[in-house]
Structure 1
Amino acid sequence: MQYPSTDFLIIGGGILGAATAWSLAQRAPVGSRIRIVEAGLTAAATTSQAAALLTRVRPDPAMAALVAQTFAAIDQLDAVLEAPLPLRRVGSLHLATEAGGKDYLQQTAETATRLGLQADWLTPAQVQTRAPWLAPDDRGQALFVADDGYLDPVQLAQGYLSAARRLGVEVVQNCRIEQLLVEQGRAVGVHTAQGEMRAQTLICCAGPWSIPLLAQHGVALAMAPVRSHYWISDDNPALFPADSPMVILPDANAYARPEVGGLLFGLRDRQAVYGDPANLPADIHGYLFNCDPDGWECLETGWAELAEVFPALAQLGIAHYLTGVSSYTPDGKPLLGVTALPGLLVGTGCSGGGIALSGGIGRLLAEQALEQPLSTDATPFAVDRFGAVDPFSEAFRVRCALARSQKRSG
């Protein structure tokens, strides 16, 4: 099949590709041609596996700015879409008992103040009123950040895409990109299963598949496919009201939020669990990591600390277990912007925060692609900030997986 050339070609129809297309369509010169190419169905791969916690308090100002822009993007989308996006603005409740967790809470409160966000200290009785499943004791501290929320990641991605289509963006699905087309040292298009596509600028938002795709052309992305996973309990609306907040438990390295009558809760692996980017399947659903493939070891390891504040866990059944793939960098920040290959930009490595960062990432990538003034400092996200790396080496993949194990926030 012969495709006409475009000004911008976005590789990957997940949430980052969708947000980037929408931002580009708003800012590009009139008549610009923008195309998204997705190997399967849009938003059906790693985007669909996300827990989608939108927490605004981030110690790094640039990261906080990206999340703030996502909230602004949601408001913009609500103004143009036929129905508002289902953002649950329930806030986040942070609960800690140990010294390290309390330090995290204090830092979160101070950062919230700097960002102009409301953060209130709660008593144990106030905690239970907001989240009946929690059982705090007098040793604990609790902080509530009212501005946070969550929403279905697929619906947000489809919202970006719907708004982008209205601005003329072309979306091609079920079209796998086999390799980049490079001429005279510049990326000028892609080879796909359906034929060649040429473009002035390529933007790769293909998640973990970006690693082997770009490695063919000497672009070594400093990230690795790392396991993210969560469980969903049996329904119990009395324990898990739909309007109860998200919960962050730094002592247990856990997070939770309501999920259709039950509780969605995640634990971060204390032992690094990672995959091989050279062996990722085309269909990520059903992909199991070699270590602890069913998550039982992680659940058993974290059970005691989680049960201290969630005693009902012992009586509740587990309805679902979902495991996904997150692209983690060593510092937990995304890889955004130009690469060593002229004509190619990337937006990936979101380290479990892609949904919350999506609006800001889409805007920043659009500004970089158009060589416009940047709304956010892009220095912390430079693609080459780690120097030369080998994303296929086990030592580097362990380094990336540890970034998830050491993460405390939502």
Structure 2
Amino acid sequence: MGKKVVVIGGGTIGAGVAYYVSKMGNAEVTLVDRDYIGSGNTAAAASLVTLARTKKPIIPLVMETMLAIGEMEALLGEPSGVMKVGSIHVVASDTSEKSVRNLMEIAKEFGLEHEWITAEDIKKRLPWIDISEVRGGAFMKDDCYMESTVLANNFAKAAKLCGATIKQYTNVEEILCKQGSVTGVKTNKGVIDCDVVVDAAGAWSNMLSMQVNEAIPMAPVRSIYWITGRRPGLFNPNQPMAIFPDASAYCRPEGEALLFGIRDKTGLHVDPKALPNSMHGYNMISEDESWDILMNEGEKFQEFFPEFQDMEIAHCISGISTYTPDASLTLGKAKNVEGLYVATGCSGAGVATSGGYGRIIAELIYNIPLFTNIDSFSMERFGNFDPFDAIFRQQCANARSNKKEG
């Protein structure tokens, strides 16, 4: 048997890492989660998967996720629940037209199927939208949405078929090191000896890595989305998703309802030390604040959605995303500890990039040439910083507020 690898965190990224490390080599892999697979912030993900992105280094990771989904469907003999409905990037200004036209050039560069569609075409596909200010938009055919918990569990089941051990309800309390190298992890159920630890603990990652003087450049940042009441005929699950760069908003079908998100201008960051062990029942927004964001910061989105004022809002979902100051990713080998790898800081793209995270970490562990360049995801790109510092955390929150893509 080869290396002993412990992956901390059973979300889409951690489970994806466990799958790839299990299938690509002879390591003895243990996937550990303090709760159950897919129970953390994965469960609150909006789960849009958009392929074309202005941050081009992220695209190969999303493409890898789509390949992994097909591979796991064949391996497990069960559907993944992916809804390949495409997405429309809606243009209503000179600024958004320039950015969306640029996105189409990027899509062309990566061989992603896309087309410019008229405002009338958008209205046919999204009957609820007001197109009076809409110039048209870019339709990205291969984009999709899915159930994030299904993806996490499929990764875990596939990892188990490849030989991994899954330990749920097992809380990692400490990364154990000796003379600068990983020797194991201490859990509430005892010590697990290993040569390699992958920190994929999401919002809690720095609480573990900082024990061994490894700062990860990301912070927990609140994410919010809403789900309307059911409106059969107006919404259906086969409608395309939509991105509104002019409104810093996005939406996708949720059955016969609409799931939509608005990126609040003053993002709320959280001190990792103040996070609860479980997100179950942990609400990060009051009802009053939710309505304030909808009525004020969501005003531009409402211009595209004239029935909004009369629409029932059935749910407001708040959760935690892990953002970097540049709204990119964080993954790779730790600087100070031999055998420690980091797979976190996904900037709201954890579901979409989970397969890519998994493949890259596996290639690093097995010393295989990387399938794509990861220099822009380096943990050292921000120099010296304190991940617990409020100013640094605000920079991460600002990155979410300024995000225009899905």
Q: What TM-score range do you get, normalising by the shorter chain?
A: over 0.9
Matches within 5 A, 1:287-302: 287-289=282-284, 294-302=289-297
Question: What is residue 362 of structure 1 aligned with on the other side?
Answer: 358
- Out of 257, 265, 268, the position equivalent to 1:262 is 257
Q: How many residues align?
A: 405
**What percentage of residue pairs aligned between the two structures are identical?**
37
What is the one-letter code of the residue matched to 2:342? V
Partners of 2:97 and 2:224 lie apart in 1 by 25
Give me the TM-score of the superposition, normalised by structure 2: 0.96
User: Do the aligned partners of residues 384 and 293 (structure 1) sit closer, same or farther apart at CA in structure 2, a change above 3 Å counting?
Assistant: farther
Partners of 1:303 and 1:339 lie apart in 2 by 40
Partners of 2:328 and 2:113 lie apart in 1 by 25
Q: How much has 1:99 moved relative to structure 2? A: 2.2
User: Do the aligned partners of residues 22 and 139 (structure 1) sit closer, same or farther apart at CA in structure 2, a change above 3 Å counting?
Assistant: closer
User: Do the aligned partners of residues 244 and 195 (structure 1) sit closer, same or farther apart at CA in structure 2, a change above 3 Å counting?
Assistant: same
Establish whether residue 376 from structure 1 lines up as the match of residue 372 from structure 2. yes
Establish whether residue 281 from structure 1 lines up as the match of residue 276 from structure 2. yes
Give me the TM-score of the superposition, normalised by structure 1: 0.96
Partners of 2:289 and 2:164 lie apart in 1 by 40
User: Do the aligned partners of residues 59 and 139 (structure 1) sit closer, same or farther apart at CA in structure 2, a change above 3 Å counting?
Assistant: closer
Question: What is residue 391 of structure 1 aligned with on the other side?
Answer: 387
Establish whether residue 11 from structure 1 lines up as the match of residue 17 from structure 2. no
What is the one-letter code of the residue matched to 1:359? G
What is the one-letter code of the residue matched to 2:158? A
Q: How much has 1:293 moved relative to structure 2? A: 7.8
Q: How much has 1:333 moved relative to structure 2? A: 1.4
What is the one-letter code of the residue matched to 1:378? I
Establish whether residue 224 from structure 1 lines up as the match of residue 219 from structure 2. yes
Establish whether residue 23 from structure 1 lines up as the match of residue 20 from structure 2. yes
Partners of 2:201 and 2:347 lie apart in 1 by 14
Structure 2: runs of 5+ lacking an equivalent: none
Check the 8 A contact 1:339/1:384 in 2, yes or no.
no
Partners of 2:151 and 2:212 lie apart in 1 by 32
CA deviations over 1:209-236 (Å, ceiling 9, x no partner) = 0111111221111111001110000001
What is the one-letter code of the residue matched to 2:352? A
Q: Secondary structure at the match of 2:247?
A: coil
Matches within 5 A, 1:309-320: 309-320=304-315
Which moved further from structure 2: 290-299 or 35-44?
A: 290-299
Question: What is residue 87 of structure 2 aligned with on the other side?
Answer: 92
Check the 8 A contact 2:217/2:387 in 1, yes or no.
yes
Matches within 5 A, 1:11-410: 11-29=8-26, 32-137=27-132, 139-289=134-284, 294-340=289-335, 341-410=337-406
Partners of 1:268 and 1:291 lie apart in 2 by 16
Partners of 1:290 and 1:225 lie apart in 2 by 15
User: Do the aligned partners of residues 293 and 207 (structure 1) sit closer, same or farther apart at CA in structure 2, a change above 3 Å counting?
Assistant: farther
What is the one-letter code of the residue matched to 2:232? P
Q: How much has 1:238 moved relative to structure 2? A: 1.0
Check the 8 A contact 2:87/2:141 in 1, yes or no.
yes
Q: How much has 1:152 moved relative to structure 2? A: 0.4
Partners of 2:32 and 2:402 lie apart in 1 by 34
Q: Secondary structure at the match of 2:115?
A: strand
Q: Secondary structure at the match of 1:13?
A: coil
Check the 8 A contact 1:6/1:198 in 2, yes or no.
no
Q: How much has 1:290 moved relative to structure 2? A: 7.5
Q: How much has 1:285 moved relative to structure 2? A: 2.8
What is the one-letter code of the residue matched to 2:390? E
Q: Secondary structure at the match of 2:99?
A: helix
Q: How much has 1:96 moved relative to structure 2? A: 2.1
Partners of 2:358 and 2:287 lie apart in 1 by 34
Partners of 1:238 and 1:335 lie apart in 2 by 42
Partners of 2:300 and 2:310 lie apart in 1 by 16
Q: Secondary structure at the match of 1:180?
A: strand
What is the one-letter code of the residue matched to 1:130? R
